[in-house]
Every structure is written in C-alpha cells, then in structure tokens.
C-alpha cells in the first residue's frame, strides 16, 4: 500500500517558496507528479485542525474558537480567591521577564491543578488566572483520532474502518507538541530509513509561525525555511530509495498578514461597564483573541444595544456583515463577536506577551492569510491543477489517496 506522509506546516504560504528561495519546492511544484494548490483558505475563525480532519468548514463543524465561555458561567457564585489573585498579580510582573516567565508559568500550572481543569490549564496562555474558571477549551479537549472529534466525519475513523494504519505521535495532542521541528523531521527520516512508516503519518512543523514575530525578509526566518526545504528534499530522496509508492503532502493551513494597528480594548470595556452599570463575572464575561473580541452577557435583552456600543467605538476597524455567519455558532462563543479587519489586532490580548508583526484569524479570503498545499507523489498525478481551495476540502484528497 502507498505510504502517505502529511506534514502540517503551520502558517506556511506559497509566497515563501519564492521570497525565501526554497529551491526544492520551487522545482517540485512545476512537475507533473506534484499537485500544487497555490491558495488554501481557512474558515473565518481559529480552529483549522478540525476542518481538514472532518472535511467540514467551521459553520458546519461548529468550532469557531479554541476557547469558549463555560456554560451557565453567570450562575457561578462570585468569590474572591485571594491565593489566585496574588498569583495573577505576580504573573503580570514575571511575564515581562522572558527568562523567568516560563519557569513561573509552569510553577503556577502545578498550583492551578487544585482549582482549574487540566484541559483549561493547557490552553490558559495569558488569560488572567482569576478568570480561568469561566472558560472551557474546545478543539484541544479531544484526541484528534477520537470519535468525539467530529464523529464519523473524522478521517481517522474512516481509516480505522478500512484497516489503514496511521501514526500521529509527532502531531499536536491536546494543544501540546513534543520536541522540536527538527527533531520531528529527524524522527520521520529514521522511520523512512528503517522502512517503519505507517500507511498514514501526520506530523506538525511550525517554522511558518516565526512570521508572527519576524518579517518575511528576516534572515533567521529565511534560514529556518531554507533548512525545512533541505529536509523535504532529503525526505523525498529517502522515500524514493525505500518505497515504491509514496506521497508527501505539505499543508500550510493559513498564512500571515502584516500588522499595522494595535488596539487596546480595555479602556472601551471599562467605559462599557460603567455605562451599563455591570460587574465582571456577575453580569458579563469577555474574551480577547488577537483579532476577535467576544462578549457574553447575563442579560440577553441588552445584546443589541451593547453590540452597537462596541461597534461604534471600533468603527472602521472591524468587519461588517458577519452577524449571519456568527449566528451559526453556539452561544458558548459569546453573544457578541467582533472581528477586526486585516492588519488590525487587539493588544493586549489573552495570548501574546509582546506585539506581533504578523497575524491570522481574519475573514476567510483575506489576501495574505491564505495557506498552500503541495503534494509530491511517486506516481504521475492525472489531475486538474487547482489555483485555490478551501482548507476543509483537503480532507477529501487525503481520503481519496488512502482509501481506494
């Protein structure tokens, strides 16, 4: 049976192939045995994995963001946990010291296990410690090959049904990734050399994520992608040597958009609280993604008025005409959702310790945010060349190549 390797190259887009002079990929995308889809568009939202695992766009799979408001959060009794409050205040100080930040962060995680679920601790990022109990994770809760993750649409469910073996040891699991990019590629190379590949091997590579912090022209960013390109050449050469039939798929699930404006929404939240005479935790909860602000209200009668308030304050910076799209998602993602236009981000937010230079998570077809797909096969691909596809459509291609 043909061996299929699927590399999720996080935040990798077609532009990098030429800008970073990736010689191997430049050669391969012109060949008849390579399927090259220049542009891959993720759904509007933040949950890419479930799209290509289930073959369903966000509005059908139901996942909008990694973190949701906990059901009936407004019914929780509001108590001040002074121990958590102290930890939160210390963390604000420690977060400004990079070398100490992660030591303290991990120390706090051990303490938080007494108060917060393990699932939420894994995705706590920069969320204030005293607010963690009001949120719950979504996509990261499940193993990606479990029936709970997308049901029978899950590609791994279909592979199991057909007796197709797979290996996801070097992929993301519960929002965590083992080892380094180079280490995971070396693991793959070892498996190829020893002829120990499963029918389907999935691994995560995060070089493209460097674009959050560095421009495309940055020497470090360029060199990292060149090293990735060299490794890909080695992988294909080893596949040729060790397997008669193979396919190497490289998916960039999204790209990056250069950031122009940083918006501090905290003063607006403070004004909202005073205007409507509301109290955090008792009357409202909010979540600040890098590109989306979400608000959950206890009093549903004021949703329209509050939405108008925030939109007036953010006028010119947010995407209009998305209400019908957002209404397709469960209210656990918030009663009010405001997505920024490309090039704008909220900062401070609940994720980042410093200002990013690049960001994704904008409206689906935002120019520059698109990913890419390259599939190198040992067989000639008698198939139409596509200029663009949606991210969820990659699922169909995976299944077609593995389940005849």
- Dump pLDDT digits (tens) for 97-121: 888 888 999 999 999 999 999 999 9
Torsional sign, CA 94, 96, 99, 105? positive
Strand partners, 5: 201, 248
Whose CA is closest to 288, among 46, 44, 110? 46
Q: How far apart are CA 212 and CA 257, in angstroms?
A: 9
Residue with tokens 């938080």: 112
Cα–Cα distances (Å) from 288 to 71, 225, 258, 333, 353, in that order, read 18, 31, 19, 12, 13
What is the distance, to the nearest Å, from the Cα of residue 230 to the centroid of all Cα atoms in its chain? 25
DSSP 384: P
Residues 6+ apart with CB under 8 A from 57: 43, 51, 390, 391, 392
Q: What is the CATH number of domain 3-62+142-257+363-402?
A: 3.40.720.10
pLDDT at res. 401: 86
Q: In the chain, what are the domain boundaries?
A: 3-62+142-257+363-402, 67-137, 260-355
Residue with tokens 């308030």: 309
Is the pTM higher than 0.85? The answer reads yes
Q: Tell me if residue 122 falls in helix, strand or coil.
A: helix
Do the beta carbons of residue 66 and residue 289 sit within 8 Å?
A: no
Do the beta carbons of residue 9 and residue 251 sit within 8 Å?
A: yes
- pLDDT under 50: residue ranges of the chain: none
pLDDT at res. 80: 82
- Cβ atoms within 10 Å of 398's Cβ, excluding its own: 23
Give 273-341 as a DSSP string: HHHHT--BTTTEEEEE-SSEEEEEES-GGGHHHHHHHHHHHTTTTB--S-HHHHTTS-GGG-SEEEEBP
**Which tokens hold the place of 59?**
């509005």
Where do runs of H (alpha helix) occur along 181-247? 181-193, 219-242
DSSP 176: B
Do the beta carbons of residue 64 and residue 327 sit within 8 Å?
A: no
Phi, psi of 134 (to 5 degrees): -95, 0
Q: Tell me if residue 254 falls in helix, strand or coil.
A: coil
Count the helix, strand and coil residues of the chain and give each as a percent rounded to the nearest 5. Answer: 40, 20, 40
Do the beta carbons of residue 261 and residue 345 sit within 8 Å?
A: yes
Strand partners, 9: 205
CA triple 361-367-370, angle to 5 deg:
60
Phi, psi of 162 (to 5 degrees): -95, 5
Residue with tokens 């051990």: 110
The model's pLDDT over 46-104, given as tens digits with 9 standing for 90+, comes to 999 999 999 999 999 999 999 999 999 999 988 888 899 999 999 989 988 888 888 99
Do the beta carbons of residue 218 and residue 362 sit within 8 Å?
A: no
pLDDT at res. 384: 62
Q: How far apart are CA 83 and CA 66, in angstroms?
A: 27
Q: What is the CATH number of domain 260-355?
A: 3.30.1360
Do the beta carbons of residue 164 and residue 403 sit within 8 Å?
A: yes
pLDDT at res. 342: 97
Q: Tell me if residue 374 falls in helix, strand or coil.
A: strand
Q: How far apart are CA 95 and CA 217, in angstroms?
A: 28
Do the beta carbons of residue 210 and residue 163 sit within 8 Å?
A: no
pLDDT at res. 125: 95
pLDDT at res. 1: 85
Phi, psi of 290 (to 5 degrees): -65, -35
């Amino acid at each position: 049976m043909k061996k299929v390797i699927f590399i999720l190259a996080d935040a990798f887009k077609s532009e990098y192939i030429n800008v970073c002079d990736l010689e191997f990929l430049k050669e391969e995308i012109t060949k008849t045995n390579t399927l090259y889809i220049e542009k891959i568009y993720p759904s509007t939202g933040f949950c890419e994995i479930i799209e290509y695992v289930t073959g369903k766009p966000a509005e059908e799979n139901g996942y909008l963001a990694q973190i949701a408001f906990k059901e009936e959060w407004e019914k929780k009794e509001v108590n001040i946990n002074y121990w958590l409050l102290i930890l939160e205040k210390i963390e604000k100080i420690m977060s400004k010291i990079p070398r100490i930040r992660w030591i303290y962060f991990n120390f706090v995680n051990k303490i938080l296990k007494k108060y917060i679920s393990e699932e939420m601790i894994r995705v706590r990022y920069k969320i204030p410690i005293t607010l963690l109990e009001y949120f719950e994770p979504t996509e990261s809760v499940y193993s990606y090959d479990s029936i709970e993750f997308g049901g029978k649409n899950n590609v791994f469910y279909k592979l199991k049904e057909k007796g197709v073996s797979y290996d996801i040891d070097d992929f993301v699991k519960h929002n965590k990734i083992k080892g380094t990019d180079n280490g995971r590629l070396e693991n793959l190379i070892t498996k190829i050399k020893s002829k120990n590949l499963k029918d389907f091997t999935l691994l995560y590579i995060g070089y493209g994520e460097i674009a959050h912090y560095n421009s495309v022209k940055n020497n470090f960013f360029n060199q990292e992608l060149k090293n990735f390109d060299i490794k890909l050449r080695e992988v294909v050469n080893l596949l040729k040597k060790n397997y008669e039939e193979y396919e190497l798929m490289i998916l960039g699930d999204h790209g990056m958009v250069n950031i122009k404006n940083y918006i501090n929404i905290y003063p607006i939240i403070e004004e909202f609280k005073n205007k409507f005479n509301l109290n955090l935790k008792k009357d409202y909860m909010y979540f600040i993604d890098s590109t989306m602000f979400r608000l959950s209200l206890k009093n549903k009668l004021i949703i329209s008025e509050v939405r108008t308030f925030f939109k007036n304050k953010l006028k010119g910076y947010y995407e209009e005409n998305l209400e019908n799209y957002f209404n397709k998602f469960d209210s656990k993602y918030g009663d009010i959702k405001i997505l920024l236009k490309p090039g704008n981000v909220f900062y401070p937010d609940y994720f980042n310790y410093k200002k990013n230079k690049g960001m994704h998570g904008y409206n689906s077809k935002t120019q520059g945010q698109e990913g890419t797909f390259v599939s190198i096969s040992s067989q000639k691909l008698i198939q139409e060349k596509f200029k663009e596809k949606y991210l969820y459509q990659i699922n169909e291609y995976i299944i077609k190549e593995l389940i005849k």
